[in-house]
Homo-oligomer: A and B are copies of this chain.
Amino acid sequence: MNDSYLPPLNDLRFVLDDVLDYGRLFSLPAFEHADVELADVVLAESARFAAGVLAPLNATGDEQGSRLENGRVVTPPGFRDAYWHYVEAGWPGLDMPQEFGGQALPVTLQAACAEMVNGACVAFGMLPLMERAATRLLVAHAPKGLVDVVAPSLATGRWGATICISEAQAGSDVGRIATRAERQSDGGYCVTGTKIFITYGDQDFTEQIIHMVLARIPGSPPGTRGLSLFLVPARALQANGTPGASNGVTVTRVEHKMGLKASPTCVVNFDGAQAYLVGQENAGLKAMFTMVNTMRLEVAMQGVAVAGAATAKALRYALERPQGGRADAPAVAIVEHADVRRMLYLMRARTEAMRALVLEAALQLDLAQAGPEAPRADALALAEWLLPVCKACGSDAGFEVANLAVQVFGGHGYVADAGVEQYVRDSRVMSIYEGANGIQALDLVMRKLPQDNGKRYSLFAARIRADLDRNSGCAELREIRDAVVDGLLRLDACTDAIAQRVANVSRDAEAGASAYLALVGLVAGGWMWLRMAAAASGDSPLHEVKRALARFYAEYLMPEALTLQRRALLGAASLDTLDAETLTGGR
């Protein structure tokens, strides 16, 4: 049981086809080389690959972990073969440009496939993610000569990649990065410093690893405005593109983590490593933002992936596990107990809301990039609004749902064999990495909300209102519609109040930021359920489930808005009653 994975193909198809109508993407010039039938084949193949090749690695990867041996990372048995299988099947380049060997398919399709890859083995999925993010960075900002040498190998997964940001003294506070990049007489650069928490900082899959490194050129301004972005190859780049001599990049440590053990989290040391500037000097952080959307979307999908995988196992267990009922009769399946049902409904309702929301965000990214010219700005604004919400709520949902799966399994869930406790451990980091969820909340409240006179929120609320209007007559949708109406009113009120605070007493806005983000995510989830229920008007069991879950979301989950609203408006006063020493000290 612990190495099985049931890809949620039908649920994905329902969202993509019936809720989002993503087929329209294939009439756009950027995607007209494909069509919805091809996309469905890709989806089905991804499911087969995830379940057949990746899922069997998940438990053993966790058990054995990646480790450091003689200065090199050794990954668990089977990972290297699976990786090359993945590369040869062309998966790394799914949404990468065709000129670099990619297939230029929509981000939306890539996101759906990413759910299945990560649902089967999230530790595996980390490396392709870094490769996609690095390719995007290079294509957007690197000189053409460099792109031509690197991108074809990176976009197709023949080379690995890392994103090197954190240092011991610079976590969320990126501006304190101290890694130095010295200009050389030949116009190149030379990077020296130590980066921590580097995912797949080394591996035994590829002959070359491209590190994308934030560093500081001596004499640059302090803070984030003095950071530059560099490409640092693990082995020197030769003119013909083949990897040359070792380039002063060494892994000195692989962290012993709570989960994601097969994904090596490394301390990477750069010692005068040959480096190529990407973008302008001191514009490194801005360049890095190119990959932020890719990363946030993927982490959100990792959360959905773990939630979906955990839910599938819990549903099967609940149907098969007899326990309880009359003493003189055979035990009933635990799915019949009200409290178990409550957990299963909750798991499905939360997971499927987030799945739809993340795919909606992906669709907006596609439309912003390749959609009809006029609405592109709106699509981008909506995507930018949704992404911190997806990242934070998706990661939180992954952890919450994984924990509920353990609870459904009871004592058996606490034991490794059931394969559910790993989901809890693997998903725990998702609310931390790629911008901790508290940072996402600040991004939403302090940047996304006030910029452009609140345009992004207005757009978001207007989309929801349009869907409320569109479905105002349908009795079947009453519960979810009423709940979204109520939630949106509360959210409107919160948004006004928070926006004023951002302008006036920003610490009050900061104090409520996490709750505000959670409220946005909750209402957005309700919006998704309204759309899913509206699309599920048929008699099939799938449609019946969607309508039932929409009602449950309305009745059980939407009341969280009552608490979140109060918390979002709490303000800093009750957090600033104590000085730091009194709050923490004398202990």
Contacts and interface: CB of A to CB of B under 8 A. Distances in A.
Contacts of A513: 338-339
Contact of A556 (B6, B431, B552, B570): B570
Nearest to A422: B258
Contacts of A578: 544-545, 548
Nearest to A323: B173
11 contacts: A6-B587, A173-B324, A173-B331, A222-B328, A224-B327, A319-B581, A339-B438, A339-B514, A340-B438, A341-B576, A542-B586
B556 A559 contact: no
A438 to B, nearest CB: 4
Interface stretch (A73-81, A413-421, A530-538): A413-421
A432 interface: yes
B327 A222 contact: yes
B577 A258 contact: no
From A224, A344, A555, A587, name the one whose CB has the most chain B CB atoms within 10 angstroms.
Answer: A587
Interface string A158-181: 000000001001011101100000
Given A338-B575, A432-B414, A575-B552, A582 B424 contact: no
Interface in A527-584: 541-542, 544-545, 548, 551-552, 555-556, 559-560, 562-563, 566-567, 570, 572, 574-578, 580-584
Contact of A414 (B424, B429, B511, B577): B429
Given A328-B222, A413-B432, A421-B428, A344 B584 contact: yes
Nearest to A576: B341
A341 B575 contact: yes
Interface string A338-363: 11111011001000000000000000
Contacts of A468: none
A54 to B, nearest CB: 19
B328 A510 contact: no
Contacts of A339: 438, 441-442, 510-511, 513-514
A72 interface: no
Given A545-B578, A575-B345, A578-B544, A319 B222 contact: no
B175 A327 contact: yes
Contacts of A183: none
Interface stretch (A41-49, A233-241, A373-381, A404-412): A404-412
A30 interface: no
Interface stretch (A32-40, A86-94, A310-318, A455-463): A310-318
Contact of A551 (B548, B574, B584): B574
Contacts of A141: none
A114 to B, nearest CB: 20
A256 interface: yes
Contact of A256 (B166, B413, B416, B548): B416
B433 A411 contact: yes
B176 A584 contact: no
A257 B416 contact: yes
Interface in A3-48: 6, 8, 10
A260 to B, nearest CB: 8
A580 B335 contact: yes
A256 B419 CA distance: 11
Contacts of A257: 414-416, 421
B563 A548 contact: no
Oligomer copy total? 2
B559 A563 contact: yes
A545 B583 contact: yes
From A175, A316, A407, A563, name the one whose CB has the most chain B CB atoms within 10 angstroms.
Answer: A563
A319 B407 contact: no
Nearest to A226: B327
A425 interface: yes
Contacts of A327: 175, 222-225
A555 to B, nearest CB: 5
A410 B541 contact: no
A403 B257 CA distance: 15
A46 to B, nearest CB: 17
Contacts of A438: 337, 339-340, 407
Complex A-B, nearest 10 residue pairs according to Cβ-Cβ distance, in ascending order: A223-B327, A562-B562, A559-B566, A315-B584, A258-B421, A548-B577, A338-B510, A339-B438, A341-B575, A338-B511
A336 B432 contact: no
Given A421-B428, A424-B428, 7 more contacts: A173-B323, A319-B585, A335-B584, A339-B514, A407-B438, A410-B432, A541-B585
Contacts of A406: 258, 428, 432
A128 B4 CA distance: 39
A259 B315 CA distance: 24
A196 B10 CA distance: 38
A167 to B, nearest CB: 11
B552 A574 contact: yes
A485 interface: no
A410 B425 contact: no
A333 interface: yes
A555 B585 CA distance: 23
